[in-house]
Amino acid sequence: YFSKGDLISPMVASSALPPYFSPIKIGEAIYCDGGLLNNFPIEPLKGKCDILIGSFVNPLKEINEKELGNPIKFLQRIYNVVMDGSYEKKFKKCDYVFLHELDNIGVLETKLIDKAFDYGYEKTLSHIALIKSLVEN
């Protein structure tokens, strides 16, 4: 994790999603999207903030039999099931977690960025009283 220094390089590395974008070398190490192994990184924040509010966009969803016939979808499903157990443990360490249903917006669908932004904005407004109560208490 990065907590000081150059911001641009870690941000670019965070977007390096193999096989679409190449990993980035920072110093002597090679970095790519941390979501591949830790898609809910609360570790750098524990003990450094009074309230921990998580936002999770990859809930495990049901898939149909046809999708299981696709080798790539099948491997992705195995990965998602394995990772789901670690997410549940991390959710319990948060004061609150927003769970989002964004399965209709893919990671690389930049044309839908405004839709994703609007969704996040509206979701936040709909929970503003809860957020304020967490902060005030």
SS3 letters across 20-84: CCCCEEECCEEECCHHHCCCCCCCCCCCCCCCCEEEECCCCCCCCHHHHCCHHHHHHHHHHHHHH
Through-space distance between the first and last CA atoms of the chain, rounded to whole angstroms: 29
Q: Beta-carbon neighbour count of residue 87 at 10 Å?
A: 20
Place of tokens 């192994």: 37
Can you give the pLDDT at residue 92?
93
pTM of the model: 0.74
What letter would DSSP give residue 110?
Answer: G
Segment 33-83, tens digit of pLDDT: 888 788 899 998 988 999 999 998 877 778 888 878 888 888 888 888 888
Is the pLDDT at 108 greater than 80? The verdict is: no
Please state the domain extents for the chain.
Answer: 1-37, 40-136
